Structure 1
Amino acid sequence: MKQQMARTVLGDVPADQLGIVYAHEHLIIQGGLGVMKNKDLLLNQVDYAVAEVKECMQYGAQSFVDYMPLDSGRHPSALVDIAKQTGAHIIAVTGFHKPMYYDDLHWIYHYSVDQIAELLIQECEVGMDRYSYNGPLVERLDAKAGVLKGASDYNVIAPVSRKLLEAVAIAHIATGVPIATHTEHGTCGLEQIELLAKFGVDPKNVIICHMDRNPDLYLHKELAATGCFLEYDNASRIKYHPDSHSVELIRGLIEAGHEKQLILGTDFALRSYWKAYGGGPGMSHLLASFVPRLRAEGLGDEQLNLLLRDNPANAYSLKKAARDEVV
């Protein structure tokens, strides 16, 4: 059997060498429309990111997936610097956030689906644009993207988001790079899977994120039944739900036989969440506090290894691309 590989900013590595994975993070947000609307989103200090990553590594973390997509604050060269300074595996994203991150004159509204797909393919196979396509010049780094991202809004997938998800699907089929999606408050996960399947994507190659923002176990079982991965990152977000909700969702999905489809992250995309910026609880909370709680609530080593190691290794591994099919 061919060894599974994951695409990091410093090159492809065997997926089973990723170790403990922080499955949905924001290490750098250098600016963009989102930051203009909310200054708490500005995470522009490499040394602060290095400090947070190193603290997580003290608890055993080895890999981090940065989810900032195109032209919304992504900083590929900074991700390379973080990887080199920490020794961590960093996986970068290409693709798109929800429409609020782009103004109404942005190229996402004017380029064709095929043109957008080609831009994504180049990011995955040639190298990420240093400027994340905020244009007009393109300067490709050696670092390649290892995840394709799409997004939807609260209870709706806007027309432009459907268009972008189609481009993401085309790029996935061409490159084998896995897909991950933003759901707003855990809505439209099933609709995203249905849409991507319509475009030819196997749900087992898709990660649906933030689902624990919508702590409806019945819905989560429905989604898991499609074969996709579910990413949970609500731990410590008491303003939404107590951690007991996330614990019960995890236990419920494990009891339903979906223990191989769950991955965990923090999604700490605000200064106020980071110790380095004077906030809290810090990215280390996942391993320092939440995982010990899962253990205290009855999860054993085998189950925790699935959530932290094996499942993300499978979720973030490169899939069989169209060009690899036997003719």
Structure 2
Amino acid sequence: MSSLSGKVQTVLGLVEPSNLGRTLTHEHLTMTFDCCYYPPPPCHEATSKETIMMKNLFWIQQNPYSHKENLQLNQETEAIKEELLYFKAKGGGALVENTTSGISRNVQTLKWLAEETSVHIISGAGFYVDATHSSETRAMSIEQLTDVLINEILHGADGTNIKCGVIGEIGCSWPLTASERKVLQATAQAQAQLGCPVIIHPGRNPSAPFQIIRVLQEAGADISKTVMSHLDRTIVNKKELLEFAQLGCYLEYDLFGTELLHYQLDPDTDMPDDNKRIKRVRLLVNEGYEDRILMAHDIHTKHRLMKYGGHGYSHILTNILPKMLLRGITENTLDKILIENPKQWLMFK
């Protein structure tokens, strides 16, 4: 592991952590999301089959998982290349691509995008939620799953020599399934051997992040090198959030740009808007957790791309940071959240 120690592993090879710059820690550049297709009511079935255009864009923005074309982000490689060039021009340096097995990971496309744009791209190893697990994945032992994760980092993913630089996003449902629990245990074992960063997609319940951390801890994971994603839609209660923050993992607010009246994947949750996300980040900063906060957009559907009138990968840099400054979060703190924290997390031990 000495060759990886102190380095970040991108799809183009090892880089010094200091070269990353401003980093988004949870994005997708090519994937499919058919596993979360949400059939529309009969009165909107025709709209769900139309191409994306101005007259149906608002409906798609509010019902993103009911429009089948919208779930095929893998069709937009050229548009995403242009977005990454724009992201670079606005001061972006790197992003973590969280697409894992089960949602059409394509590391060759990631390598091409990195070569074309000079943005550092770190690819994720592992498996998404149970609904996407193959019969082969379900049949594997913890040891076999561990070997898969280690191989994707040390040798290459999907039959290529393009290596992953992080485990995740590891998908968890609520309640956690037996197959997902095995993957979590394998993640902990692989992390213990490699000293690598890990990132988790929790189930949509406030108890899910707590349960996942317990499973990881019991299996030997390094919680200080682990990210809990999607806290903006998962732990909305302030007291519970501060209790969770004490567990020592990275706290990721990664749905910036998502503002929904009705959250299709969990109707009981009122999705916060960006102003509320900023308030949560400020709360965590004020409570002393500024060295554990990460931010991203988790773009995984077409409608969030600038090509379709969406906010794109530069939204945090161009719109959120100025608002955070207005709300009393200092430039030094923002540099810690976007540069120093990702650098520390992504660096192999």
Same structural fold, with TM-score higher than 0.5 when normalized by the shorter chain: yes
CA distance, structure 2, for counterparts of residue 3 and residue 58 of structure 1: 30
The unaligned stretches of length 5 or more in structure 2 are: 39-64, 261-270
CA distance, structure 1, for counterparts of residue 171 and residue 251 of structure 2: 15
| Pick aligned residue for 1:158 from 177, 200, 203 | 177
CA distance, structure 2, for counterparts of residue 206 and residue 33 of structure 1: 27
CA distance, structure 2, for counterparts of residue 318 and residue 125 of structure 1: 12
Which deviates the most, 117-126 or 2-11?
2-11
TM-score, normalization by structure 1: 0.88
Root-mean-square deviation (CA, aligned residues, Å) is: 1.8
The offset of 1:218, in angstroms, is 2.0
| Pick aligned residue for 1:190 from 193, 206, 210 | 210
| Pick aligned residue for 2:151 from 118, 122, 133 | 122
Q: Pairwise mapping of residues 249-264 of structure 1 onto structure 2 (< 5 A)?
A: 249-264=280-295
| Pick aligned residue for 1:175 from 177, 188, 194 | 194
Equivalent position of 2:24 in the other structure? 22
Equivalent position of 1:74 in the other structure? 105
Equivalent position of 1:132 in the other structure? none
Classify 1:262/1:32 alpha carbon distance in 2 versus 1 (closer, same or farther; 3 Å).
closer
Equivalent position of 2:331 in the other structure? 301
CA distance, structure 1, for counterparts of residue 182 and residue 110 of structure 2: 28
| Pick aligned residue for 2:256 from 235, 252, 256 | 235
Q: Say if 1:28 and 1:78, in contact at 8 Å, map to a contact too.
A: yes
Q: Say if 1:52 and 1:283, in contact at 8 Å, map to a contact too.
A: yes
Q: Say if 2:254 and 2:295, in contact at 8 Å, map to a contact too.
A: yes
One-letter amino acid of the counterpart of residue 178, structure 1? P
The offset of 1:118, in angstroms, is 0.5
Partner of 2:297, secondary structure, is coil
Partner of 1:184, secondary structure, is coil
Equivalent position of 1:13 in the other structure? 15
Which deviates the most, 248-257 or 176-185?
176-185
CA distance, structure 2, for counterparts of residue 204 and residue 215 of structure 1: 22
| Pick aligned residue for 1:110 from 115, 136, 139 | 139
CA distance, structure 2, for counterparts of residue 28 and residue 194 of structure 1: 31
Equivalent position of 1:140 in the other structure? 160
CA distance, structure 1, for counterparts of residue 71 and residue 213 of structure 2: 28
Equivalent position of 2:43 in the other structure? none
Q: Say if 2:188 and 2:222, in contact at 8 Å, map to a contact too.
A: no
Partner of 2:279, secondary structure, is helix
Q: Aligned pair 1:57/2:88, yes or no?
A: yes
The offset of 1:56, in angstroms, is 1.4
Equivalent position of 2:73 in the other structure? 43
CA distance, structure 1, for counterparts of residue 248 and residue 33 of structure 2: 34
TM-score, normalization by structure 2: 0.83
One-letter amino acid of the counterpart of residue 202, structure 2? T
CA distance, structure 2, for counterparts of residue 226 and residue 314 of structure 1: 18
One-letter amino acid of the counterpart of residue 310, structure 1? E
| Pick aligned residue for 1:220 from 241, 248, 251 | 241
Q: Say if 1:275 and 1:281, in contact at 8 Å, map to a contact too.
A: yes
CA distance, structure 1, for counterparts of residue 8 and residue 293 of structure 2: 18
The offset of 1:88, in angstroms, is 0.7
CA distance, structure 2, for counterparts of residue 15 and residue 50 of structure 1: 23
The offset of 1:34, in angstroms, is 2.7
Partner of 2:73, secondary structure, is coil
Equivalent position of 2:124 in the other structure? 93
Partner of 2:145, secondary structure, is helix
Q: Say if 1:147 and 1:178, in contact at 8 Å, map to a contact too.
A: yes
Q: Say if 1:33 and 1:101, in contact at 8 Å, map to a contact too.
A: no
Partner of 2:306, secondary structure, is coil
CA distance, structure 1, for counterparts of residue 15 and residue 236 of structure 2: 34
Count of residue correspondences: 303
The unaligned stretches of length 5 or more in structure 1 are: 130-138, 320-327
CA distance, structure 2, for counterparts of residue 212 and residue 32 of structure 1: 20
Partner of 1:24, secondary structure, is strand
Q: Say if 1:109 and 1:160, in contact at 8 Å, map to a contact too.
A: yes
1:61-106 Cα deviation digits (max 9, x unpaired): 000110000132100000000000000100000111111223xx52
The offset of 1:35, in angstroms, is 7.5
CA distance, structure 2, for counterparts of residue 262 and residue 98 of structure 1: 24
CA distance, structure 2, for counterparts of residue 189 and residue 218 of structure 1: 14
Q: Say if 2:34 and 2:71, in contact at 8 Å, map to a contact too.
A: no
1:268-313 Cα deviation digits (max 9, x unpaired): 101011113x241222111111111111111111100011100111
The offset of 1:199, in angstroms, is 0.4
Which deviates the most, 203-212 or 169-178?
169-178
CA distance, structure 2, for counterparts of residue 259 and residue 175 of structure 1: 26
